[in-house]
């Protein structure tokens, strides 16, 4: 198995080395291939990702990724969007699950949501134009992409509470009706109980009653926004892992970005990246190892070894050291 490892920019350079220390506690015969991508590379070379990088990524089985900085410059092509599209990683799986001992923004810790975000089209189609007085971004919804995201969402639902919520805004954005109707058809054919929510109402209701939801399937932008909202429900963006999956490959990354406001200070929470390693272990069919990693995270909270985003005063290195010791002794 080949694992590409991309730290990226900002806190990516802090949380990925931490996550690797945890991964390295297990004897997994993974060949690790480090790759340097992102804004830092662009500043030095004029390219954030090259064709040669993409070729290497296509030859890997899986990828562990930190975060990259993406400037608002209209001429800058997002590295992440490029990778997701080139590798056809069509499903972005984002579990929103409370961690014992952490109170999220609402104090409610009685929920377990799986956001399944369409990852290849929608408003992130990259078909756009910015001229002086007018700008547009084309929002694409296809039956094929809607069908396959609904299918994977239904497969997850079948293993959970068999309930799918389809997020859309088809009352005003007519393209969403193709997403909604296709997801409904797929859910019906899978015998998954389903309902639909307008995205604005969904944001409101996820804050008020997150316990109502099981699997939530959403077009690209809505899934992106609702999962950050989920970060507040869980307690910090520094806690949320994710997996981007395709037919053969999978790409694991914290939901958060490069966090320039805290980068370089050694205080980034490594848990989102470490839980991304747990998702990688699940994907490698190592459930026992994944369980130990999750248990280590709970133990660190229980011992009050927490970074500043969780109200603690431990550093990235101190949290990582605890996690590594826990995993090694279990």
Give catalytic residue positions.
Answer: 124, 169, 200, 224, 228
Site string for ligand NAI, 145-174 (x = CB under 6 A): ------------------------------
Closest-approach residue to Mg ion (CB): 224
Other Cβ atoms less than 10 A from the Cβ of 26: the count is 19
- Judged by CB under 6 A, the residue of 21, 70, 227, 320 near ligand NAI is 70
Q: Is 259 in the site for ligand NAI (CB under 6 A)?
A: yes
- Judged by CB under 6 A, the residue of 23, 216, 262, 284 near ligand NAI is 262
β-pair type (31-35, 2-8): parallel
Residue 224 touches which of Mg ion, ligand NAI, none (CB < 5 to 8 A by kind)?
Mg ion
- Judged by CB under 6 A, the residue of 120, 220, 244, 269 near ligand NAI is 269
Q: How far, in Å, CA of 244 to CA of 88, rounded?
A: 9
- Judged by CB under 5 A, the residue of 224, 253, 282, 309 near Mg ion is 224
Q: Is 206 in the site for ligand NAI (CB under 6 A)?
A: no
Give 40's contacts (C-beta < 8 A, 6+ positions apart). Answer: 9, 69
In the chain the first and final C-alpha atoms are separated, in Å, by 25
Q: Is 256 in the site for ligand NAI (CB under 6 A)?
A: yes
Q: How far, in Å, CA of 283 to CA of 250, rounded?
A: 8
Q: Is the Cβ–Cβ distance between 170 and 180 less than 8 Å?
A: yes
Is residue 287 classed exposed, middle or buried when 0-12, 13-18 and 19+ CB atoms within 10 A define those classes? exposed
Q: Tell me if residue 7 falls in helix, strand or coil.
A: strand
Where on the chain is the footprint of ligand NAI (CB under 6 A)?
11, 15, 67-70, 80, 236-238, 253, 256-262, 268-269, 272, 309
Where on the chain is the footprint of Mg ion (CB under 5 A)?
224
């Amino acid at each position: 198995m080949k694992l590409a490892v991309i730290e990226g920019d900002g806190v990516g350079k802090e949380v990925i080395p931490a996550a690797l220390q945890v991964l390295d506690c297990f004897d997994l015969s993974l060949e690790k291939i480090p790759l340097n991508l992102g804004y830092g590379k662009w500043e030095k070379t004029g390219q954030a990702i090259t064709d040669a990088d993409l070729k290497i990524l296509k030859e890997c089985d899986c990828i562990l990724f930190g975060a990259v900085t993406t400037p608002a410059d209209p001429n800058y092509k997002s590295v992440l969007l490029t990778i997701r599209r080139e590798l056809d990683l069509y499903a972005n799986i984002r579990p929103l699950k409370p961690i014992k001992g952490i109170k999220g923004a609402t104090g409610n810790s009685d929920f377990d949501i799986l956001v399944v975000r369409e990852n290849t089209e929608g408003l992130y189609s990259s078909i756009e134009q910015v001229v002086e007085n007018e700008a547009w971004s084309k929002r694409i919804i296809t039956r094929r992409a809607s069908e396959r995201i609904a299918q994977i969402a239904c497969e997850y639902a079948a293993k959970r509470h068999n309930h799918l919520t389809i997020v859309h805004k088809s009352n005003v954005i007519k393209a969403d009706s193709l997403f909604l109707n296709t997801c409904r058809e797929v859910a019906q054919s899978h015998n998954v109980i389903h309902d639909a929510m307008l995205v604005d109402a969904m944001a409101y209701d996820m804050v008020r009653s997150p316990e109502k939801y099981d699997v939530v399937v959403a077009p690209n932008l809505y899934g992106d926004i609702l999962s950050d909202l989920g970060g507040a429900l869980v307690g910090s963006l520094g806690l949320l892992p994710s997996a981007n999956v395709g037919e053969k490959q999978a790409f694991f990354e914290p939901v958060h970005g490069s966090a320039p406001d805290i980068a370089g200070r050694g205080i980034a929470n490594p848990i989102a990246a470490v839980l991304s390693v747990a998702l990688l272990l699940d994907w490698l069919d190592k459930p026992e190892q994944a369980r130990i990693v999750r248990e280590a995270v709970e133990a660190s909270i229980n011992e009050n070894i927490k970074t500043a985003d969780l109200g603690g005063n431990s550093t990235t290195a101190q949290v990582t050291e605890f996690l590594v010791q826990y995993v090694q002794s279990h």
